[in-house]
Amino acid sequence: VPFLKIENLHVEIEGKEILKDFSLEINGGEIHAIMGPNGTGKSTLASAIMGHPKYEITSGSVLLMGEDVLEMEVDERAQAGLFLAMQYPSEISGITNADFLRSAINAKREEGDEISLMKFIRKLDEKMALLEMDESFSQRYLNEGFSGGEKKRNEILQLLMLEPKIAILDEIDSGLDIDALKVVSQGVNAMRSSEFGCLIITHYQRLLNYITPDKVHVMMQGRIVKSGGAELATKLEAEGYDWIKAELGIED
Ligand code: ADP
Ligand code: MG
Ligand code: MG
Protein backbone atom coordinates (compact mmCIF):
# COMPACT_ATOMS: atom_id res chain seq x y z
CA VAL A 1 0.00 0.00 0.00
CA PRO A 2 1.34 3.48 -0.93
CA PHE A 3 2.13 5.72 2.04
CA LEU A 4 0.25 8.60 0.42
CA LYS A 5 -2.28 8.28 -2.36
CA ILE A 6 -4.03 11.36 -3.69
CA GLU A 7 -6.63 10.66 -6.33
CA ASN A 8 -8.54 13.08 -8.54
CA LEU A 9 -8.54 15.79 -5.91
CA HIS A 10 -10.56 18.92 -6.54
CA VAL A 11 -10.24 21.81 -4.08
CA GLU A 12 -11.95 25.18 -3.98
CA ILE A 13 -11.20 28.38 -2.08
CA GLU A 14 -14.13 30.73 -1.74
CA GLY A 15 -15.88 29.08 -4.64
CA LYS A 16 -12.89 29.20 -6.96
CA GLU A 17 -11.46 25.86 -8.04
CA ILE A 18 -7.70 25.74 -7.38
CA LEU A 19 -6.84 22.04 -7.52
CA LYS A 20 -8.23 20.42 -10.61
CA ASP A 21 -8.04 16.66 -10.71
CA PHE A 22 -4.79 16.36 -8.79
CA SER A 23 -3.36 12.85 -8.40
CA LEU A 24 -0.12 11.65 -6.83
CA GLU A 25 1.21 8.49 -5.19
CA ILE A 26 4.18 8.30 -2.82
CA ASN A 27 5.62 5.01 -1.59
CA GLY A 28 7.68 4.40 1.54
CA GLY A 29 11.32 5.29 0.92
CA GLU A 30 10.52 7.88 -1.74
CA ILE A 31 11.14 11.60 -1.80
CA HIS A 32 9.09 13.49 -4.36
CA ALA A 33 9.36 17.13 -5.30
CA ILE A 34 6.63 19.33 -6.68
CA MET A 35 7.79 22.40 -8.54
CA GLY A 36 5.76 25.00 -10.34
CA PRO A 37 5.20 28.67 -10.93
CA ASN A 38 3.66 30.86 -8.23
CA GLY A 39 -0.06 30.59 -7.78
CA THR A 40 -0.52 27.13 -9.27
CA GLY A 41 -1.91 25.65 -6.08
CA LYS A 42 1.11 24.02 -4.44
CA SER A 43 0.39 25.44 -0.99
CA THR A 44 -3.30 24.79 -1.49
CA LEU A 45 -2.47 21.11 -1.87
CA ALA A 46 -0.58 21.10 1.43
CA SER A 47 -3.28 23.04 3.29
CA ALA A 48 -6.11 20.92 1.91
CA ILE A 49 -4.41 17.69 2.95
CA MET A 50 -3.84 19.04 6.43
CA GLY A 51 -7.49 20.00 6.74
CA HIS A 52 -7.36 23.79 6.70
CA PRO A 53 -11.02 24.87 6.97
CA LYS A 54 -10.75 27.47 4.22
CA TYR A 55 -10.11 24.84 1.58
CA GLU A 56 -13.13 22.91 0.41
CA ILE A 57 -12.54 19.49 -1.07
CA THR A 58 -15.28 19.02 -3.61
CA SER A 59 -14.21 15.58 -4.81
CA GLY A 60 -11.38 13.08 -4.79
CA SER A 61 -9.58 11.15 -2.09
CA VAL A 62 -6.45 11.25 0.06
CA LEU A 63 -5.27 8.03 1.65
CA LEU A 64 -2.49 7.76 4.24
CA MET A 65 -1.30 4.16 4.61
CA GLY A 66 -4.61 3.18 3.04
CA GLU A 67 -6.69 5.22 5.49
CA ASP A 68 -9.01 8.01 4.48
CA VAL A 69 -7.37 11.25 5.62
CA LEU A 70 -10.30 13.44 4.68
CA GLU A 71 -12.49 11.66 7.22
CA MET A 72 -10.03 12.47 10.02
CA GLU A 73 -9.98 15.50 12.31
CA VAL A 74 -6.89 17.66 11.94
CA ASP A 75 -5.18 16.31 15.06
CA GLU A 76 -6.00 12.75 13.98
CA ARG A 77 -4.12 13.38 10.74
CA ALA A 78 -0.95 14.18 12.63
CA GLN A 79 -1.46 11.21 14.92
CA ALA A 80 -1.93 8.95 11.90
CA GLY A 81 1.54 9.96 10.70
CA LEU A 82 1.10 13.01 8.54
CA PHE A 83 3.49 15.91 8.99
CA LEU A 84 3.17 19.30 7.44
CA ALA A 85 5.69 22.10 7.51
CA MET A 86 3.93 25.26 6.53
CA GLN A 87 5.23 28.05 4.42
CA TYR A 88 4.45 30.41 7.31
CA PRO A 89 4.88 28.62 10.64
CA SER A 90 2.72 30.10 13.35
CA GLU A 91 3.79 31.37 16.72
CA ILE A 92 2.34 29.75 19.80
CA SER A 93 3.11 31.48 23.05
CA GLY A 94 3.40 29.98 26.49
CA ILE A 95 4.69 26.57 25.45
CA THR A 96 8.34 25.67 25.11
CA ASN A 97 9.74 23.79 22.20
CA ALA A 98 10.62 20.80 24.37
CA ASP A 99 7.15 20.65 25.95
CA PHE A 100 5.51 20.90 22.59
CA LEU A 101 7.62 18.12 21.11
CA ARG A 102 7.14 15.80 24.05
CA SER A 103 3.38 16.18 24.06
CA ALA A 104 3.26 15.78 20.27
CA ILE A 105 5.25 12.55 20.51
CA ASN A 106 3.04 11.25 23.29
CA ALA A 107 -0.13 12.16 21.43
CA LYS A 108 0.94 9.61 18.81
CA ARG A 109 1.54 6.88 21.38
CA GLU A 110 -0.84 4.71 23.38
CA GLU A 111 -1.73 5.75 26.90
CA GLY A 112 0.71 4.15 29.32
CA ASP A 113 3.36 3.97 26.59
CA GLU A 114 4.55 7.58 26.83
CA ILE A 115 8.18 8.30 26.01
CA SER A 116 10.30 8.51 29.17
CA LEU A 117 11.86 11.85 29.98
CA MET A 118 15.33 10.31 29.68
CA LYS A 119 14.67 8.87 26.24
CA PHE A 120 13.04 12.07 25.12
CA ILE A 121 15.97 14.23 26.19
CA ARG A 122 18.50 11.88 24.63
CA LYS A 123 16.62 11.92 21.34
CA LEU A 124 16.17 15.69 21.46
CA ASP A 125 19.89 16.25 22.12
CA GLU A 126 20.84 13.96 19.26
CA LYS A 127 18.54 15.63 16.73
CA MET A 128 19.45 19.14 17.82
CA ALA A 129 23.12 18.29 17.39
CA LEU A 130 22.43 17.02 13.87
CA LEU A 131 20.74 20.32 13.05
CA GLU A 132 23.50 22.33 14.73
CA MET A 133 20.96 23.97 17.03
CA ASP A 134 21.90 25.70 20.25
CA GLU A 135 20.76 23.85 23.39
CA SER A 136 18.85 26.89 24.60
CA PHE A 137 16.44 26.39 21.72
CA SER A 138 14.55 23.63 23.47
CA GLN A 139 13.55 25.96 26.30
CA ARG A 140 12.42 28.79 24.10
CA TYR A 141 8.76 29.37 23.47
CA LEU A 142 7.55 27.84 20.28
CA ASN A 143 8.41 30.03 17.31
CA GLU A 144 8.27 33.17 19.47
CA GLY A 145 10.84 35.61 18.18
CA PHE A 146 12.44 32.97 16.00
CA SER A 147 14.10 34.22 12.86
CA GLY A 148 12.88 32.79 9.56
CA GLY A 149 15.84 30.42 9.44
CA GLU A 150 15.32 29.32 13.05
CA LYS A 151 11.68 28.50 12.34
CA LYS A 152 12.65 26.33 9.40
CA ARG A 153 15.32 24.55 11.40
CA ASN A 154 12.81 24.03 14.17
CA GLU A 155 10.32 22.48 11.79
CA ILE A 156 12.94 20.00 10.70
CA LEU A 157 13.61 19.27 14.37
CA GLN A 158 9.91 18.49 14.73
CA LEU A 159 10.14 16.21 11.71
CA LEU A 160 13.08 14.30 13.18
CA MET A 161 11.43 14.01 16.58
CA LEU A 162 7.96 13.00 15.40
CA GLU A 163 9.07 10.53 12.70
CA PRO A 164 5.93 10.73 10.58
CA LYS A 165 5.05 8.33 7.78
CA ILE A 166 4.60 11.16 5.31
CA ALA A 167 5.92 14.70 5.45
CA ILE A 168 4.78 17.52 3.24
CA LEU A 169 7.34 20.31 3.30
CA ASP A 170 6.13 23.52 1.72
CA GLU A 171 8.92 25.92 0.79
CA ILE A 172 11.17 24.95 3.67
CA ASP A 173 13.95 26.56 1.62
CA SER A 174 12.48 30.04 1.36
CA GLY A 175 14.55 32.71 3.03
CA LEU A 176 17.36 30.37 4.07
CA ASP A 177 21.01 31.20 3.59
CA ILE A 178 23.19 28.48 2.15
CA ASP A 179 24.41 27.17 5.53
CA ALA A 180 20.89 26.87 6.91
CA LEU A 181 19.79 25.24 3.67
CA LYS A 182 22.48 22.59 4.04
CA VAL A 183 21.51 21.88 7.64
CA VAL A 184 17.82 21.65 6.81
CA SER A 185 18.62 19.30 3.90
CA GLN A 186 20.79 17.18 6.16
CA GLY A 187 17.82 16.77 8.47
CA VAL A 188 15.50 15.66 5.67
CA ASN A 189 18.13 13.29 4.31
CA ALA A 190 18.53 11.76 7.77
CA MET A 191 14.84 10.81 7.61
CA ARG A 192 15.29 8.76 4.46
CA SER A 193 14.15 5.17 5.09
CA SER A 194 11.66 2.65 3.79
CA GLU A 195 9.37 3.78 6.62
CA PHE A 196 9.13 7.35 5.42
CA GLY A 197 7.86 9.17 2.37
CA CYS A 198 8.29 12.85 1.64
CA LEU A 199 6.78 15.51 -0.58
CA ILE A 200 8.91 18.61 -1.01
CA ILE A 201 7.17 21.62 -2.45
CA THR A 202 9.50 24.22 -3.82
CA HIS A 203 9.53 27.13 -6.19
CA TYR A 204 13.28 26.90 -6.71
CA GLN A 205 15.55 24.06 -7.73
CA ARG A 206 18.24 25.08 -5.22
CA LEU A 207 17.01 22.82 -2.39
CA LEU A 208 17.11 19.83 -4.72
CA ASN A 209 20.88 20.22 -5.03
CA TYR A 210 21.02 18.97 -1.45
CA ILE A 211 18.06 16.61 -1.30
CA THR A 212 17.97 14.40 -4.35
CA PRO A 213 14.37 13.57 -5.16
CA ASP A 214 13.35 10.22 -6.61
CA LYS A 215 10.65 11.91 -8.62
CA VAL A 216 10.00 15.48 -9.69
CA HIS A 217 6.57 16.73 -10.70
CA VAL A 218 5.68 19.97 -12.37
CA MET A 219 2.44 21.52 -11.26
CA MET A 220 0.52 24.02 -13.34
CA GLN A 221 -3.03 25.25 -13.13
CA GLY A 222 -3.94 22.96 -10.28
CA ARG A 223 -2.59 19.64 -11.43
CA ILE A 224 0.58 17.73 -12.25
CA VAL A 225 1.40 18.26 -15.90
CA LYS A 226 4.77 16.55 -16.10
CA SER A 227 6.78 14.04 -14.05
CA GLY A 228 10.35 12.84 -14.25
CA GLY A 229 13.47 12.13 -12.23
CA ALA A 230 15.88 14.52 -10.55
CA GLU A 231 17.11 15.66 -13.97
CA LEU A 232 13.76 17.34 -14.60
CA ALA A 233 14.50 19.83 -11.80
CA THR A 234 17.85 20.66 -13.36
CA LYS A 235 16.21 21.27 -16.70
CA LEU A 236 13.63 23.56 -15.09
CA GLU A 237 16.38 25.54 -13.38
CA ALA A 238 18.13 26.06 -16.70
CA GLU A 239 15.12 26.57 -18.96
CA GLY A 240 12.22 27.68 -16.78
CA TYR A 241 8.66 26.56 -17.39
CA ASP A 242 7.97 28.00 -20.83
CA TRP A 243 8.92 24.84 -22.73
CA ILE A 244 6.38 22.86 -20.72
CA LYS A 245 3.70 25.45 -21.35
CA ALA A 246 4.50 25.32 -25.05
CA GLU A 247 4.47 21.53 -25.03
CA LEU A 248 1.05 21.48 -23.39
CA GLY A 249 -0.39 24.51 -25.13
CA ILE A 250 -0.93 26.28 -21.78
CA GLU A 251 -1.28 30.06 -21.85
CA ASP A 252 -1.17 32.40 -18.89
P1 ADP B 1 1.39 28.32 -4.87
O2 ADP B 1 1.68 27.75 -3.54
O3 ADP B 1 1.59 27.35 -5.99
O4 ADP B 1 2.12 29.59 -5.13
P5 ADP B 1 -1.26 28.76 -3.78
O6 ADP B 1 -1.79 27.42 -3.46
O7 ADP B 1 -0.72 29.56 -2.66
O8 ADP B 1 -0.17 28.64 -4.95
O9 ADP B 1 -2.39 29.62 -4.50
C10 ADP B 1 -3.15 29.12 -5.57
C11 ADP B 1 -4.28 30.07 -5.91
O12 ADP B 1 -5.20 30.11 -4.86
C13 ADP B 1 -3.80 31.50 -6.11
O14 ADP B 1 -4.57 32.05 -7.16
C15 ADP B 1 -4.12 32.15 -4.80
O16 ADP B 1 -4.38 33.52 -4.96
C17 ADP B 1 -5.36 31.41 -4.35
N18 ADP B 1 -5.42 31.29 -2.89
C19 ADP B 1 -4.59 30.59 -2.12
N20 ADP B 1 -4.91 30.67 -0.80
C21 ADP B 1 -5.99 31.48 -0.76
C22 ADP B 1 -6.81 31.98 0.30
N23 ADP B 1 -6.58 31.62 1.58
N24 ADP B 1 -7.85 32.79 -0.03
C25 ADP B 1 -8.08 33.12 -1.31
N26 ADP B 1 -7.34 32.69 -2.35
C27 ADP B 1 -6.33 31.89 -2.09
MG1 MG C 1 3.20 31.03 -3.48
MG1 MG D 1 3.00 28.26 -2.04
Q: What is the pLDDT of residues 137-189, one digit of tens each?
A: 888 887 777 888 888 888 999 999 999 999 999 988 888 889 889 999 999 99
The pLDDT of residue 217 is 98
Q: Is 223 a pocket residue for ligand 1 (Cβ < 6 Å)?
A: no
CB contact burial 151-160 (16+ within 10 A = b; e otherwise) = bbbbbbbbbb
- 24 alpha carbon to ligand 3 midpoint, in Å? 18
ipTM of the complex: 0.93
Helix, strand, coil percent values for the chain (each to nearest 5):
40, 25, 35
> How many of the other CB atoms lie within 10 Å of CB of 67?
14
Q: Please tell me which of 108-112, 147-151, 221-225 the model is most confident about, judged by mean pLDDT.
A: 221-225
pLDDT digits over 52-96, tens only?
Answer: 999 999 999 999 999 999 999 988 898 899 998 765 556 666 788
Q: Is 41 a pocket residue for ligand 1 (Cβ < 6 Å)?
A: yes
Q: Is 54 a pocket residue for ligand 1 (Cβ < 6 Å)?
A: yes
Which of 196, 192, 200, 193 is CA-nearest to residue 217?
200
DSSP 70: G
Mean pLDDT for the chain overall: 92
> How many of the other CB atoms lie within 10 Å of CB of 187?
22
Category of 132 on φ-ψ map: left (φ > 0), alpha (ψ -120 to 50) or beta: left
- 201 alpha carbon to ligand 3 midpoint, in Å? 8
- 164 alpha carbon to ligand 2 midpoint, in Å? 25
Q: Is 89 a pocket residue for ligand 1 (Cβ < 6 Å)?
A: no
Separation of alpha carbons 236 and 71, rounded Å: 36
Task: For a ligand 1 pocket test, name from 10, 16, 19, 44 the mutation site with the most ligand atoms within 8 angstroms of its C-beta.
Answer: 44
Which of 191, 197, 240, 158 is CA-nearest to residue 33?
197
Residue 234: CB partners within 8 Å, gap ≥ 6? 205
Ligand nearest to the CA of 252: 1
User: Would you say 230 and 209 are in contact if contact means Cβ atoms under 8 Å apart?
Assistant: no
The pLDDT of residue 67 is 97
User: Would you say 184 and 100 are in contact if contact means Cβ atoms under 8 Å apart?
Assistant: no
Domains of the chain, start order: 4-91+148-248 (3.40.50.300)
Distances (CA, A) of 15 to 12, 20, 55, 62: 6, 13, 9, 21
Q: Is 38 a pocket residue for ligand 1 (Cβ < 6 Å)?
A: yes
Q: Supply the residue whose CA is at minimum distance from atom 16 of ligand 1.
A: 39
- 176 alpha carbon to ligand 1 midpoint, in Å? 22
Q: Supply the residue whose CA is at minimum distance from atom 25 of ligand 1.
A: 13
Predicted TM-score (pTM) of this structure: 0.93
The pLDDT of residue 138 is 87
